[in-house]
Structure 1
Amino acid sequence: MLKESIYAPGLARSKSPHAHAVKAAGLVFVSGCAGYDAQLQLALGDFGGQFRQALANVNEILAAAGSSIAKAVKVTVYLDRRADFEEMNAIYKEIFGTDPQSWPARTTVEARLPRKDFLVEVECVAIA
């Protein structure tokens, strides 16, 4: 099989036509994740809560693919507000550690997100 669609059993499926992730060529490509919990509740108005939940969702999807966030090689973070950049960095270090050798490559973009209450969205590429 050239590619495999991945769906994390504990996460809701989007109404949009995309998989949680696709596994191909020894990598896992995780679609953008917002800060929803399993009950589709968003941490409204709380950037830190949304970012931590989005990263937890990424990790759950990676686990469903047989990987983990520790195997991330590239992360893209979409911020609704540039003002959240420093808090994002602090939380990022909580997840990925303080050793630069453990950090994946990263791009951070200020973007208009699909819903007005989204403060962050995260996508990731990891080793399978």
Structure 2
Amino acid sequence: MIEHFNSGQVLPAGVPFPEGTRVGHLLFLSGALGNIPGRLELVPGGIAAEARQTMENIRTVLRGQGLDLQHLLRCTVMLADMAEWPAFNEVYKAFFGELPLPARSAFGASGLALGARVEVECIAALPQA
């Protein structure tokens, strides 16, 4: 069974995609930006601020499904400028602290929605009973 979910806490109503899709014990999260929750507007402050808000938005989506960052299996990072990779990494690592980091890949993108500096999409796993 495929289930689409949208808590309404991150994305505004009317966007043409859900926060994510659940298939079995896997959650496929849509790409997250550093948008102000509920609005199609990025937080001000550049890459560091956007990275923090992006990770907060991912955490909010996960918590809406009863999960948190430790349930992430894989993240794909898209950066508008690969020179901002070190700044993104500082924020990213701080969110995980001592948790094991999920598998990850990253690439530069010539354009992201809303003119964002970063977008992150993730796959998470529900705990097996």
Q: CA deviation at 1:62?
A: 1.1
Distance 1:109 1:127, change over 3 A: same
Write the distance in 1 (CA, Å) between the matches of 2:68 and 2:121: 13
Instruction: Number of aligned residue pairs: give it.
Output: 125
**Aligned match of 2:57:** 57
How far does residue 66 in structure 1 lie from its aligned partner after superposition? 1.9
TM-score by length of 1: 0.87
How many angstroms apart in 2 are the aligned matches of 1:14 and 1:74?
27
Q: Corresponding residue for 1:90?
A: 90
Amino acid at match of 2:21: V
**RMSD of aligned residue pairs (Cα, Å):** 1.8
> What is the one-letter code of the residue matched to 2:71?
K
Q: How does 1:99-118 map to 2 (within 5 A)?
A: 102-115=100-113, 117-118=115-116
Out of 119, 126, 129, the residue aligned to residue 121 of structure 1 is: 119
Query: 1:45, CA displacement in angstroms?
Result: 5.0
Gapped runs of 5+ residues in structure 1? none
Displacement of 1:105? 0.1
Moved over 6 A (4+): none
Residues 63-72 or 46-55, more deviating:
63-72
Please give the alpha-carbon distance, in whole angstroms, between the structure 2 residues aligned to 1:63 and 1:104.
17
Contact 2:47 2:118 (8 Å CA) reproduced: yes
Q: Which moved more, 1:37-46 or 1:53-62?
A: 37-46
Deviations 1:44-95 (A, max 9, x none): 4510100110111111111112211221010011000011111111111101
- Displacement of 1:116: 6.0
**Is 1:12 paired with 2:14?**
no
Aligned residues of 2:42 and 2:114 also touching (Cα < 8 A): no
Percent of matched pairs sharing the same residue: 26
* Distance across 2 between alignment mates of 1:38 and 1:110: 25
Q: Which runs of 5+ in 2 are unaligned?
A: none
Matches of 1:8 and 1:116, distance apart in 2: 21
